[in-house]
């Protein structure tokens, strides 16, 4: 693996008495694409949110590049500027045009002037195939287009790392492909990416590594061929059988401690 861009050390996260992350150790190399998979409630989205401190770990360390986000003295805003995040929901400002959604964060956070912010916005809308939608409002776009705008907005900030939290889960099936195509493009360009997803085809074809989580721990970590193609652990095999062939899955009650807090 190349030099780590993301490092997670002995990470724990509890919500009251519910321990969602139970000692996570993980590295993501520069230019690497790591897909995190697992059942609902396994802690995968909480892990992603801890990487940019949207959730504050109960204990443990998180590094992005050479900066420790969990250091009490860290300039968290400066570090976050190096991290792009794309959520399940698009979080676009409905009263702003697409172009304005991209230029506002640049001007407010990066202090770019209006002309430079507009140039960067136009360039990144072109990257996601939405140049013609610059003057449209979010309500006029499909869900897939809105998610691509959200990706373009994150890219306009010039991140070194991109985090994706189930970016296609809120989309109709026919709209998923365009969003995944943009993510493939970013992977081909060498963007460091950590992706929480249920899209197994994307994980197989694009990820350098796949991490399977269950019960707040990493159960398996390896190449897609290893984790998806030939999983070693029964928990992984059970999860994949339910995901890849849901018609054969038996009804099963989730344990109480697996319900409630984030994926």
Cα–Cα distance, 211 to 217 (Å, whole number):
10
Confidence of residue 141 (pLDDT cuts 50, 70, 90): very high
Check whether 259 has a pLDDT greater than 70: no
Q: In this predicted structure, what is the pLDDT of residue 248?
A: 55
Domain that holds residue 149: 93-159
Q: In this predicted structure, what is the pLDDT of residue 258?
A: 43
The length of the chain is 263
Check whether 249 has a pLDDT greater than 60: no
Q: What is the pLDDT of residues 9-49, one digit of tens each?
A: 999 999 999 999 999 999 999 999 999 999 999 999 999 99
Mean pLDDT of the chain: 91
Cα–Cα distance, 64 to 27 (Å, whole number):
10
Task: Please indicate, yes or no, if residue 33 is contained in any of the structural domains.
Answer: no
Q: In this predicted structure, what is the pLDDT of residue 94?
A: 96
Task: Please indicate, yes or no, if residue 151 is contained in any of the structural domains.
Answer: yes
Q: What is the pLDDT of residues 68-106, one digit of tens each?
A: 999 999 999 899 889 999 998 889 999 999 999 999 999
DSSP label of 226? I
254 versus 149: which is more confidently predicted?
149
DSSP label of 135? T
Nearest to 43 by CA among 8, 2, 70: 8
Task: Please indicate, yes or no, if residue 129 is contained in any of the structural domains.
Answer: yes
**Whole-structure pTM value:** 0.90
Confidence of residue 173 (pLDDT cuts 50, 70, 90): confident
The distance in angstroms from the start CA to the end CA of the chain is: 27
Cα–Cα distance, 98 to 117 (Å, whole number):
13
Cα–Cα distance, 122 to 225 (Å, whole number):
38
Task: Please indicate, yes or no, if residue 180 is contained in any of the structural domains.
Answer: no
How many domains would you assign to the chain? 1
For the sheet with 4-15, list strands across it.
18-29, 4-15, 59-64, 67-68
Q: Name the β-bridge partners of 13.
A: 21
Task: Please indicate, yes or no, if residue 115 is contained in any of the structural domains.
Answer: yes
Name the least confident of 50-64, 180-194, 229-243, 246-260. 246-260
Structure tokens at 137: 């409002």
41 versus 249: which is more confidently predicted?
41
Check whether 262 has a pLDDT greater than 80: no
Task: Please indicate, yes or no, if residue 25 is contained in any of the structural domains.
Answer: no
pLDDT above 70 as % of the chain: 92
Q: What is the pLDDT of residues 186-238, one digit of tens each?
A: 999 999 999 999 999 999 999 999 999 999 999 999 999 999 999 999 999 99
Task: Please indicate, yes or no, if residue 99 is contained in any of the structural domains.
Answer: yes
Per DSSP, helices labelled H in 72-173 are 76-80, 98-105, 114-127, 143-155
Task: Please indicate, yes or no, if residue 124 is contained in any of the structural domains.
Answer: yes
Q: In this predicted structure, what is the pLDDT of residue 260?
A: 43
Confidence of residue 255 (pLDDT cuts 50, 70, 90): very low
Cα–Cα distance, 24 to 217 (Å, whole number):
6
Q: In this predicted structure, what is the pLDDT of residue 199?
A: 92
Give the number of other Cβ atoms within 10 Å of residue 113's Cβ.
9
């Amino acid at each position: 693996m190349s030099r780590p861009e993301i490092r997670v050390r002995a990470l724990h996260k509890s919500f009251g008495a519910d321990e969602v992350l139970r000692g996570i150790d993980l590295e993501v190399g520069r230019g690497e694409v790591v897909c995190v998979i697992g059942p609902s409630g396994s802690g995968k989205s909480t892990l992603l949110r801890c990487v940019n401190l949207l959730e504050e770990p109960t204990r443990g360390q998180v590094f992005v590049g050479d900066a420790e986000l969990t250091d009490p003295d860290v300039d968290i805003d400066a570090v976050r500027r190096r991290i792009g995040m794309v959520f399940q929901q698009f979080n676009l400002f409905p009263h702003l045009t697409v172009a304005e959604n991209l230029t506002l964060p640049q001007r407010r956070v990066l202090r770019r002037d209006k002309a430079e912010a507009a140039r960067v916005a136009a360039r990144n809308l072109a990257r996601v195939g939405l140049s013609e939608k610059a003057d449209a409002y979010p309500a006029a776009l499909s869900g897939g287009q809105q998610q691509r705008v959200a990706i373009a907005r994150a890219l306009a900030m010039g991140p070194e790392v991109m985090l994706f939290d189930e970016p296609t889960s809120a989309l109709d099936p026919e709209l998923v492909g365009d969003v995944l195509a943009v993510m493939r493009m970013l992977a081909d360009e060498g963007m460091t990416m950590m992706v929480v997803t249920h899209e197994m085809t994307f994980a197989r074809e694009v990820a350098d590594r796949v991490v399977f989580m269950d019960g707040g721990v990493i159960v398996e970590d390896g190449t897609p061929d290893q984790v998806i193609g030939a999983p070693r652990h029964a928990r992984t095999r059970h999860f994949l059988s339910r995901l890849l062939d849901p018609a054969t899955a038996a009804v099963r009650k989730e344990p109480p401690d697996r319900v409630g807090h984030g994926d």
